[in-house]
Amino acid sequence: MNANVNKHPLFYRQIFSLTMPIVIQNLLSAAVSSADVIMLNSVGQSAISAVSLASQYSSVLFMFFFGLGTGATMLSAQYWGKKDVHAIELVEGIALRFSIIVSTLFALCALTIPELMMRLFTNDTELISLGVPYLRVVCFSYIFWSISEIYLASLRSVERVSISTALNALALVLNVILNAVFIFGLLGAPKLGVTGVALATSISRGIQLICCIAVSHFSKNVKLRFSYIFVRNKVLFQDFLKLSIPAVANDLVWSTAFSMYSVILGHMGTDIVAANSIVVVVRNFATVFCYGFAGASTIWLGKQIGQNDMEGARRDSKRLMVLTLIAGAVGGVIVLSISPFVLKNASLTSQAMHYLKYMLLMNSYYIMGISVNSLLISGVFRAGGDSRFGFICDTIDMWCYAVPLGFFSAFVLKLPPLWVYFLLCTDEFVKWPWVIKHFRSYKWLNNITKEYE
């Protein structure tokens, strides 16, 4: 008992040392999204709505990269527990193989059929005309991002979280600066509006990739080895597929379903779309600690499991659960606290402002649902190599419940937009009983490392 008590301060120090860089990264990401909305506010409500819809493809891609990165981290964190860097670099090469192929396909579609891509989200001709040039320019960032995101995931898996955060921070801060330059025509640049946001994104992601290559050159741990994309290792490849396919499928199921929310709202008018784009920014700020704990738990628990410290992993997963409940409550308070400021400064129509007020209120409790599920599904379960449960759970929840309910309430019952949004926001709470039951069963607690030579 005394030994456990003595370990408490060490656990919290180490968890926060992993969590804080992720939190800072998420804060910067939220700040960039906020800056985009603030700057585009001067261009007009339609510009905000168009970028919000067009960027759904970036969101889907991010979830794909996140799924691949999580699959790599699940393996790599446990191999890091065994100090096997060679295995980690082989896993990185496998992940890059998939990320580059998929990002190239997305980029080609955005370059050649951007109008069709926009029509999937809206039938508003103004929003489509604004979104088309955005997609044609931002498509280059997809490929840059596909490489850097996997390398940064590998760095996080070996506890180099601060370096990963610094590289992401560079891209995000540069993005904000370039947004201002190209939106407002600063430093002699042309005023490009929506297209300027896309150009800023592509340039900042390109520079981030160059910096990743530079860091890799001087790294004593994991390097970015493009030659490893072509190296074949049957054991690691099969393990990666076993873990990553459910993780990628889980994240794609979740992100595409969330994109369907945008499709539903996008066909209910520009007012609800504009309000939602601001709500997303506020929610991103309020959930930074929730996602921070989820990311840290995969690294921390994965390393423990790789060292066969199952009792420690079981104990610390409970501590992480308490921390994320606190983070969810704090996130709700943050939403309520900054809502008056947001409502005072948003330049929306009166109808959009009405939507915004009540959507912010709903998100004050919705964050608790996000907090618990993100920690357990994306963090704790995956630390033990269990990505399959989350895939099944989110598929049933999102595609058998939330998305059909959204379409039915919006286009059959023709409920008001706020009622439709309220029903969509029940998705996280519906799966709580199954998620918490699985957590308490400890079926997710497995050592997945193998002899691979």
3-state secondary structure the chain: CHHHHHHHHHHHHHHHHHHHHHHHHHHHHHHHHHHHHHHHHCCCHHHHHHHHHHCHHHHHHHHHHHHHHHHHHHHHHHHHHCCCHHHHHHHHHHHHHHHHHHHHHHHHHHHHCHHHHHHCCCCCHHHHHHHHHHHHHHHHHHHHHHHHHHHHHHHHHCCCHHHHHHHHHHHHHHHHHHHHHHHHCHHHCCCCCHHHHHHHHHHHHHHHHHHHHHHHHHCCCCCCCHHHHHCCCHHHHHHHHHHHHHHHHHHHHHHHHHHHHHHHHHCCCHHHHHHHHHHHHHHHHHCHHHHHHHHHHHHHHHHHHHCCCHHHHHHHHHHHHHHHHHHHHHHHHHHHHHHHHHHHHCCCCHHHHHHHHHHHHHHHHHHHHHHHHHHHHHHHHHHCCCCHHHHHHHHHHHHHHHHHHHHHHHHHCCCCHHHHHHHHCCHHHHCHHHHHHHHHHCCCCCCCCCCCC
Which pLDDT belongs to residue 179?
A: 83
Which pLDDT belongs to residue 23?
A: 83
Which pLDDT belongs to residue 452?
A: 57
Q: What pLDDT tens digit does each residue of the chain (453 aa) get? A: 344 444 567 788 888 888 888 788 777 666 665 666 666 666 666 777 787 778 778 877 877 887 788 788 888 887 887 788 888 889 899 999 999 999 999 999 999 998 888 888 778 888 888 888 889 998 999 999 899 989 988 888 888 878 888 888 888 888 888 988 888 888 888 888 788 888 988 998 999 999 999 998 887 778 888 888 888 888 888 888 888 888 878 877 887 788 788 889 888 888 898 888 889 888 988 898 888 898 889 888 988 888 888 999 999 999 999 999 999 999 999 999 999 998 988 778 889 899 999 999 999 999 999 999 999 998 899 888 898 999 999 999 999 999 999 999 999 999 999 999 999 999 999 999 999 999 999 999 988 776 655
Separation in Å, CA 135 to CA 51, 109, 213, 229 = 9, 9, 26, 28
Residue (of 44, 56, 311, 66) closest to 193 by Cα position: 44
Helical packing angle, 45-54 and 270-286, nearest 10°: 70
Which pLDDT belongs to residue 172?
A: 81
d(CA 364, CA 233): 47
Q: Is the overall model pTM greater than 0.85, yes or no? A: no
Which pLDDT belongs to residue 6?
A: 43
Which pLDDT belongs to residue 64?
A: 82
